[in-house]
């Protein structure tokens, strides 16, 4: 995915080659050791890239965001105090980088909460969209699901990706997102409901197009 973000940083100390344990790599990287930072990059870059890709849906942009995240890490690693798992701390940093990019993209758009959601912190919305209950795995092809996820507001998308894709627990998401566990659960619930709504809309549009095509075909026969 390109060169390590440490490549452009001058006058760094370097340890002897070898596979450092993560804890030692963190300690040395905090002292400005380039080899230790590269070790951290190798340990975590794939998962950070996966997180970025899930959130933005574009490989080139995900690569760019991954590099930005590790540049931020290089600048801020000295502030890591071990109060949470390093991977959680790093992913919080990466999420912030991605959200900043997403907010710039959608600066003129009103959030979904502003236009549709009352203050329902605990339970989230209760809606019945009609038709069969679509599960978020198995019954819906992955392309349509990804399209629905891509349409989520940044906050919804982040929690959905962290929980349902990356496998984080709500207490970990609360740490990453600087929110309460209840808020994480509420956002996930709303994200799932919004995805179901989008998937139902997709099915209705498809059925409507098929009926229109069938009608056009029969109407053209002599």
How far is 62 from 185, CA to CA, in rounded Å? 26
**Three-state DSSP class for 85?**
coil
How far is 155 from 186, CA to CA, in rounded Å? 11
Stretch(es) of the chain classified as CATH 1.10.1740.10: 5-105
Looking at residue 219, its pLDDT comes to 56
Stretch(es) of the chain classified as CATH 1.10.10.10: 134-219
How far is 210 from 204, CA to CA, in rounded Å? 10
Per-residue pLDDT tens for 14-54? 555 457 899 999 999 999 999 999 999 999 999 999 989 88
Percent of the chain residues topping a pLDDT of 70: 72
Looking at residue 26, its pLDDT comes to 94
What's the CATH number for 5-105? 1.10.1740.10
| CB contact burial 192-208 (16+ within 10 A = b; e otherwise) | bbbbbbbbbebeeeeee
Q: What is the mean pLDDT of residues 60-67?
A: 93
Output the six-digit token pair for 167.
């496998």
Q: Is the pTM of this model over 0.75?
A: no
pLDDT reading at 123 higher than 80? no
Residue count (the chain): 222
What's the CATH number for 134-219? 1.10.10.10
Lowest pLDDT segment from 2-6, 98-102, 124-128, 145-149 = 124-128
Per-residue pLDDT tens for 164-222? 877 888 888 888 888 889 998 999 999 999 988 888 888 888 788 888 877 776 555 54
């Amino acid at each position: 995915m390109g060169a390590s973000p440490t490549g452009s940083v001058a006058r760094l100390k370097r340890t002897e080659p070898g596979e450092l344990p993560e804890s030692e790599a963190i300690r040395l990287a905090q002292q400005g050791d380039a080899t230790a930072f590269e070790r951290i990059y190798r340990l975590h870059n794939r998962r950070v890239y996966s997180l970025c890709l899930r959130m933005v849906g574009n490989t080139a942009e995900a690569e760019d965001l991954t590099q930005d995240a590790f540049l931020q890490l290089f600048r801020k690693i000295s502030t890591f105090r071990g109060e949470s798992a390093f991977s959680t701390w790093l992913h919080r940093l990466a999420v912030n980088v991605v959200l900043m990019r997403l907010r710039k993209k959608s600066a003129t758009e009103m959030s979904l909460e502003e236009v549709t959601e009352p203050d329902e912190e605990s339970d989230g919305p209760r809606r019945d969209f009609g038709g069969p209950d679509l599960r978020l795995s198995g019954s819906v092809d992955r392309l349509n699901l990804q399209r629905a996820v891509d349409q989520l507001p940044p906050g919804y998308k982040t929690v959905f990706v962290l929980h349902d894709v990356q496998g984080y627990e709500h207490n970990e998401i609360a740490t990453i997102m600087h929110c309460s566990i209840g808020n994480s659960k509420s956002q996930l619930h709303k994200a799932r409901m919004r995805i179901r709504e989008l998937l139902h809309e997709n099915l209705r549009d498809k059925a409507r197009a098929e009926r229109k095509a069938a009608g056009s075909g029969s109407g053209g026969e002599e």
